[in-house]
Amino acid sequence: MEPLASLMRPKTLQEVLGQTHLIGEGKLLTSMVSSGTLMNMIFYGPPGVGKTTVARLLADLTDRKFISLNASTDSLKDVKNALEEVNMFMGQKGLLLYIDELHLFNRRNQQVLLDYMESGRIVLVGSTTENPHFAVFKALLSRAIVVEFKPLGFQEVLEGLHGAIAYYKEAQELEAVHIEESTLRALTSLAGGDLRKALNNLELLFIAKKRTNQKVLDITPEDAENILQRKIMNFDVDGDEHYDLLSAFQKSIRGSDADASLLYLAMLLKGGDLISVNRRLLVIAAEDIGLANPSAMSLVKACTDAALVLGLPEGRIPLAEAVIYLATSPKSNSVVTAIGKANRALEAASSLEIPLHLRDGHYEGAKSLGRMQKYLYPHDYKDHYVAQDYMPKSMAKEKFYEPQENKYEEQLRLYWQKVKGDR
């Protein structure tokens, strides 16, 4: 019997879950299909997010023969045999050769593909979970565009499971399939953004519980634990518990408790939602670390990007690095305090008039309006600073940013005290 994950493959691009940055009106893949022209592409992203499915759809929708190879099992002979079929499909628009795990092909195998790619006799679509800029040879990489597939969100995987239940019920002519929403959420969490993994686990439950002539299928949380041999923990990704976890997560990092921060990270990742964790870490880097350690943002961005590429479970490692780094960094909230003051001042102001010397003067007639005539160019002065008014007159006495007591901001304070004090 064909696996459930295979049976559930989308029949149209619109049915593909996630990847809204690639699919939809005006988006890359949809536009290619509309024009009937495909480019050589390398699909890059974690497993179970639709790379193979989309490749099949592109071939079908553009009337191309689809041939699939896997670099981990197929040899150079298999590649050549596939390429020899090109001339057989000239009645169609040609052939789309899909190579899964492209990064596992050696240089010789990749070299064989180049002549066919350049002549336009095939469209090559390779897929890889590794960064193609490091894992694919440059000669091939330069002849293809890299198309990044993003991890599926919690709700997208959950939607896929609900669709699979409806499909299975109809296919098996069942009257009902009873499975608690909490169990489905737990299956979604275990999948870590991999829809194929989630569907495989669901199918395992179906197989284990289905009996001949059975009309109602009941699957309890205990069944799921026993069959999958995993403790089923449910974290409500959309409910209060999720936001309570995010709150505890940020407050533990703010409070410099690395251990508690790691615990809450682990709990959040059980929910399989990398996106909200990544966003919260970036917020923490700016809000709670801020100018006490300006490099924190760069490190956190690198770690969150790595987590998205790796997916779960490996993505937990760079995220843990970011959490420990933030929790043990010096803290400052001067940035969020400053922008808060600016927002409140703006809301309280009846009107604001930008000083004439700061207004745009790069157009004909600006001089007659008095724009930029009295502007002093700071780079013409010592230390690249000159005293002049920048605030609107109604806010001349407002002060939003106040340096806090940490090494970096203290250095800034002393520097500007010296520069401005000399004037």
d(Cα 2, Cα 200) in Å, to the nearest integer?
A: 12
Which residues does 372 contact at the CB level (< 8 Å), separation at least 6? Answer: 356, 357, 358, 359, 360, 361, 366
**Confidence label for 328 from pLDDT (cuts 50, 70 and 90):** very high
* Residue 89 confidence (pLDDT): 58
Measured between its terminal Cα atoms, the distance across the chain in Å is 83
* pLDDT one-digit tens code per residue, 27-48: 999 999 999 999 999 999 888 8
Which residues does 385 contact at the CB level (< 8 Å), separation at least 6? Answer: 378, 419, 420, 423
Please state which of the ranges 5-9, 89-93, 178-182, 222-226 shows the lowest mean pLDDT: 89-93
* DSSP string for 251-287: HHHHTT-HHHHHHHHHHHHHTT-HHHHHHHHHHHIII
Exposure of 329 in the CB half-sphere (CA atoms within 13 A): 28
* pLDDT one-digit tens code per residue, 331-370: 999 999 999 999 999 988 877 888 888 887 665 555 665 5
* pLDDT one-digit tens code per residue, 202-219: 999 998 888 877 889 888
Strands (DSSP E) along 112-262, which ranges?
122-128, 145-148, 176-179, 216-219
Which residues does 81 contact at the CB level (< 8 Å), separation at least 6? Answer: none
pLDDT over 70 (residue 238): no
Higher pLDDT, 238 or 55: 55
pLDDT over 80 (residue 416): yes
* Residue 182 confidence (pLDDT): 83
Ordered domains of the chain (ranges, CATH): 19-148 (3.40.50.300), 154-228 (1.10.8.60), 240-328 (1.20.272.10), 353-421 (1.10.3710.10)
Is the pTM for the entire model greater than 0.85? Answer: no
Burial of 118 (0-12, 13-18, 19+ CB in 10 A): exposed
* Residue 178 confidence (pLDDT): 92
**Confidence label for 53 from pLDDT (cuts 50, 70 and 90):** very high
* Residue 382 confidence (pLDDT): 92
Which residues does 245 contact at the CB level (< 8 Å), separation at least 6? Answer: 235, 264, 267, 268
Higher pLDDT, 98 or 363: 98
Query: How many Å is the maximal CA-CA distance in the chain?
Result: 92
Average pLDDT over residues 111-131: 85
Higher pLDDT, 360 or 255: 255
d(Cα 252, Cα 259) in Å, to the nearest integer?
A: 9
**Confidence label for 81 from pLDDT (cuts 50, 70 and 90):** confident
**Confidence label for 70 from pLDDT (cuts 50, 70 and 90):** very high
Helices (H) and strands (E) in the chain, counts: 18, 7
Amino acid at 358: L
Please state which of the ranges 218-232, 333-347, 360-374, 383-397 shows the lowest mean pLDDT: 360-374
d(Cα 98, Cα 51) in Å, to the nearest integer?
A: 10
Q: Which of 134, 235, 241, 252 minimizes the C-alpha distance to 185?
A: 235
Exposure pattern of 55-71 as b/e (b: 16+ CB <10 Å)? bbbbbebbebbebbbbb
Average pLDDT over residues 5-31: 93
pLDDT over 90 (residue 264): yes
The secondary structure element, H or E, covering residue 110 is helix 107-119
* Residues facing residue 126 across a β-bridge: 42, 99
pLDDT over 80 (residue 58): yes
* Residue 240 confidence (pLDDT): 60
* Residue 239 confidence (pLDDT): 52
Average pLDDT, the chain: 87
pLDDT over 70 (residue 296): yes
* Residue 340 confidence (pLDDT): 94
